[in-house]
């Protein structure tokens, strides 16, 4: 009976913290694996751009016309859906 509160705390910790984090991580991995040429993305550093080239571990992102950077594929934070509104409009 003394261990029951510890087990309950462990279950609460699992369902409120660990499980949602694992779900977000799986979703992010699926997005990163599904990257393709032409996708608009946001990097982890906050840069917005369009993917020009996709390799196994790297992507080439065009930030502006003629400005291309090579980024590690895992640092892509999110894929922006076409036709989406900016956050401040």
List the chain domain ranges. 4-80
Residue 89 to residue 12: CA distance in whole angstroms: 39
Q: Say what percent of the chain tops pLDDT 70.
A: 92
pLDDT, tens digit (0-9, with 9 covering 90-100), for 59-89 = 999 999 999 999 999 899 889 887 666 555 5
pLDDT at 2: 85
25: Cβ contacts below 8 Å, ≥ 6 apart: none
User: What's the chain's length in residues?
Assistant: 89
> pTM to 2 decimals?
0.68
The pLDDT mean for the chain works out to: 88
Choosing among 3.20.20.70, 1.10.10.10, 2.30.30.60, 3.40.50.2300, the CATH entry for 4-80 is: 2.30.30.60
């Amino acid at each position: 009976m003394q261990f029951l509160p510890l087990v309950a705390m462990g279950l609460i910790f699992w369902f409120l913290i660990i499980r949602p984090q694992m779900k977000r991580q799986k979703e992010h991995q699926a997005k990163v694996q599904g990257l393709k040429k032409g996708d608009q993305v946001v990097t982890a550093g906050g840069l917005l751009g369009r993917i020009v080239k996709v390799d196994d571990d790297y992507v080439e992102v065009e930030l502006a016309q003629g400005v291309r950077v090579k980024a590690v594929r895992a640092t892509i934070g999110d894929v922006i859906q076409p036709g989406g509104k900016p956050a401040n409009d």
